[in-house]
Amino acid sequence: MRTQDMNRDWIATARTLSQALPYLQRYTDAIVVIKLGGHAMGSDEAMEEFARDVVLMQQVGVNPVVVHGGGPMINAMLDKLGIESTFVGGKRVTDKATVEVVEMVLSGLVNKRIVQAINGQGGKAVGLSGKDANLMVCDQTNPDLGFVGTPREMNTAVLHDMFRAGTIPVIAPLGAGRNGETFNINGDTAAGAIAGALKADRLLLLTDVSGVKNAEGQVVTELTAAQIREMTRDGVIAGGMIPKTETALDAIERGVRAVVILDGRAPNACLLELFTEHGAGSLIREVSKT
């Protein structure tokens, strides 16, 4: 019910919307690839909020692409089916039985959950994997790891068709081999390859950390590719942050305008990054890019 009473929260909301105008204009027709993982996938409430944000992004003119992971769900299904995993150098070996489970979980359970969440918020999402329309054609990354692939050829025509149709692609990180194989792809790697092939304006890597931290443990809000390389050499960037920053650097080299590593647990993280002055997380770009 409408009322003439106003309070500070409503005034603040109106002011926020007004201040967002330059950013809304900035991202009109922009392609934004979002890697979804971590906390946002484990909670129904977080998934609903994420889906609402994605639909809002499209409503204001952004072309969003969602690429997702699903490691915990894969592990749970392997355990349920009694399929034991072996590891080489700390990495799971994806044999034929495992890759079948991976495809079932990623293209089925996880992908359709995200599609349903977006559609439930009024969007029009369509789920696919890198195998569809040869979106991602892969070579085997390492024979010792089995059916793990690295994207080598990208066919993004299907994604541009979806943009024109007003649909939101939701992509499972699976790729087609040259001899009919199915390859499992690291979710960050897949998102970076898709963003690079699309020459996306932004690649947003949602994680369970607040961003890239300096030697003092403080989040650095903006970094150049050169600074990332220096921090990695010095050991400041270490552990699980290394593959994410490597994905960021590779995406930038492929033509992505900027990459942001941000905390997917924060409410409305994607909207804060795109449509506010302060942004969210750590933005990585080349010096000449904005």
| Mean pLDDT of the region 83-94 | 83
**The pLDDT value given to residue 21:** 67
Residue that wins the pLDDT comparison between 84 and 124: 124
Q: Give the H/E segment covering residue 23.
A: helix 21-26
Q: Per-residue pLDDT for 3 more than 90? A: no
Q: Per-residue pLDDT for 100 more than 50? A: yes
| Average per-residue pLDDT for the chain | 89
How far is residue 229 from each of residues 72, 136, 209, 217, 246, measured CA to CA in Å? 30, 27, 20, 18, 9
Query: Domain map of the chain by residue range?
Result: 27-285
Q: What pLDDT digit, counting tens, does each position of 154-209 carry?
A: 999 999 999 999 999 999 999 999 999 999 999 999 999 999 999 999 999 998 88
**The pLDDT value given to residue 194:** 98
Q: pTM of the entire structure?
A: 0.90
Q: What pLDDT digit, counting tens, does each position of 140-157 carry?
A: 999 999 999 999 999 999
- Residue that is written with structure tokens 């068709």 in the block: 161
Q: Give the H/E segment covering residue 137.
A: strand 136-140
Distance of CA 89 to the CA centre of its chain: 25
Q: Per-residue pLDDT for 77 more than 90? A: yes
Torsion sign, CA atoms 86, 89, 90, 94: negative
CB 170, CB 66: distance < 8 Å: yes
**The pLDDT value given to residue 5:** 54
Q: What pLDDT digit, counting tens, does each position of 209-250 carry?
A: 888 988 888 999 999 989 999 999 999 998 888 889 999 999
27 band by pLDDT with thresholds 50, 70 and 90: confident
Q: How many CB atoms lie within 10 A of CB 256?
A: 27
Cα 70 from Cα 237, distance rounded (Å): 24
Highest mean pLDDT pick, 6-10, 34-38, 111-115, 242-246: 111-115
Q: Which fold has domain 27-285?
A: Carbamate kinase (3.40.1160)
- Tell me the three state secondary structure of residue 218: coil
2 band by pLDDT with thresholds 50, 70 and 90: very low
Q: What pLDDT digit, counting tens, does each position of 101-110 carry?
A: 999 999 999 9
Residue that wins the pLDDT comparison between 129 and 12: 129
How far is residue 4 from each of residues 10, 17, 76, measured CA to CA in Å? 11, 20, 52
